[in-house]
Structure 1
């Protein structure tokens, strides 16, 4: 029987993975300790998502465990011997990492090492998919030839039209402490694949999004923007004239790629996983799109100071993913992503306020 272990199972990607593999009949063990509420306060709380999973997923079992607890992680792997692992647990914020650097590194880097070593000791043939981030590239993408358009920044050179490839440099750039801790984890995932021959991959996410995101200002760009519009709050644009670009991928399409990797795993692989050019948007363009759905005018203020290490324009080049896994493609276009998040927030706010 397939036994899937998902860390960060109450978060956006973790919960989507649980739902997806539950539907195809796998047994799933979710590891989560609601650390997001500690990082972001009550608005970041994910217990509601955990409760939904326990209610709706017959094959799901929740395990309360902090991945920094090395002895606890080793014991869990020794007892469970999972056949597949998806690691999504993380401290996900640039800003928070600067104020809580030990927590950031211990969760992102040391927590990942704990899981990899537990996997090596007790289930070395089990595919291990790790949610990395495009922030491993630091601010190096900002050094590209960028052209300012009416509503967005754009790559000026044809070779980058489809976005950033996995071969793009991660060196000699400012990452933020969050980006640096995720680099450490990313490289370790690759190294366990190459050095110990574990079937691993690091998925360098663009803007991961979807209706189950507990978006807050410090993390969860699209979810937070849409929620702010619905409640008629004020959104703050941090620098770059609001023309900074992100490519957005629905959590379902991430889960589908993880399934494809499990069916044919590589060793120490890296993939840039995002929405690609078709699912890219700037903040200003996102304002227009959400206004068109809700009918509510976006209220916003502008700060000249951009966030440290923030990308001006980032689009994931999906060509390697599609070459290695031709059966996979984006199934959730950007307009549908917006509509699903709007619907989710309207329902959640009607219940919880």
Structure 2
């Protein structure tokens, strides 16, 4: 199957590309390389270096004629969406509409879209399921949810199937530690350098960490499924940030203490998500536990820091 993936040189996208190729699919990547890295790109995938807002995107779609679009490319920084909501919307809404129109005009049959847990805001109940009320706290959450509405419209008007995958906190090899969401990468890199990482607040906040290879599998299963709709991709496991820090320290055999600092404005205290709907309709469930995923991630950073 011919598949076009935007953002395929990035952290999550590159893992999806690898698994697609491993499963025998033909893959082309559309990425402006603002966050993507050349070393992430599978040698069997072809790269088009374009911004998703570029008017020439339609020519790429008409040339490649993909059956499936996986739309990973996005502006992903929550603080940036607060500082510059216009550009945030330009990329995540206008850029996405440019991609959706290219998909429609070139005969794409199905779209896989990674949504975000940022749309839920402070949870009213836990675990969060797909019926949980939405309360976006920033422009980033608004833009990600807006695309969910557009996908439903494109299904109703143009009969393009879609699957939205709402990810919890994704971690794993190739994650950029400079991003605000990459706490596992930050802890790994800092402790490998015998430095103390910051923990915002008291470290007792709860998160739901899902391994990137499980995320890649969810994309494959979404392509193969006849289901159409929105699904949480998560572990439904409660992990405190302090517990995560201790686990990584033990795996690295490092006796390092963190530096506690003020809670960041807008940070959600506790969040974890149910994946029961994805299990029922996609046949997906997480295969990696946190320990195994963290060990694989640590081994990656050990190798990359030696280069």
Q: TM-score surpassing 0.5? A: yes
Which of these residues, 241, 257, 281, is aligned with residue 324 of structure 1? 281
Query: Are residues 264 and 31 of structure 1, via their aligned partners in 2, closer, same or farther at CA, if it must alter by over 3 Å?
Result: same
Measured against aligned partners, the alpha-carbon deviations of 1:238-259 in whole angstroms (never above 9, x if no partner) come to 23x2112221112221221222
Q: Counterparts in 2 of 1:260-299, with a 5 A limit? A: 260-267=221-228, 269-277=229-237, 280-299=238-257
Distance 2:246 2:274 in 1: 25
Give the conservation status (yes or no) of the 8 Å contact 1:229–1:299: no
Distance 1:72 1:9 in 2: 18
Name 2:171's counterpart in structure 1. 209
**DSSP 3-state at the match of 1:331:** coil
Distance 2:199 2:162 in 1: 37
Measured against aligned partners, the alpha-carbon deviations of 1:62-81 in whole angstroms (never above 9, x if no partner) come to 11011121x12222112211
Superposition TM-score, scaled by structure 2 size: 0.94
Name 2:74's counterpart in structure 1. 90
Confirm whether residue 313 of structure 1 aligns to residue 270 of structure 2. Answer: yes
Distance 1:134 1:194 in 2: 25
Query: How big is the shift at 1:218?
Result: 2.1
Name 2:299's counterpart in structure 1. 343
Q: For the aligned residues, what is the CA RMSD?
A: 1.8
Name 1:130's counterpart in structure 2. 113
Give the conservation status (yes or no) of the 8 Å contact 1:46–1:214: no
Give the conservation status (yes or no) of the 8 Å contact 2:7–2:30: yes
Count residues with an aligned counterpart. Answer: 307
The runs of at least 4 consecutive aligned structure 1 residues that moved more than 3 Å come to none
Unaligned 5+ runs, structure 2 = none
Q: Counterparts in 2 of 1:120-199, with a 5 A limit? A: 120-124=104-108, 126-139=109-122, 141=123, 143-144=124-125, 160=126, 163-170=127-134, 173-199=135-161
Measured against aligned partners, the alpha-carbon deviations of 1:118-155 in whole angstroms (never above 9, x if no partner) come to 1122114x21100111001123x1x44xxxxxxxxxxx
Which of these residues, 48, 63, 70, is aligned with residue 39 of structure 2? 48
Distance 2:204 2:153 in 1: 37
**DSSP 3-state at the match of 1:242:** coil
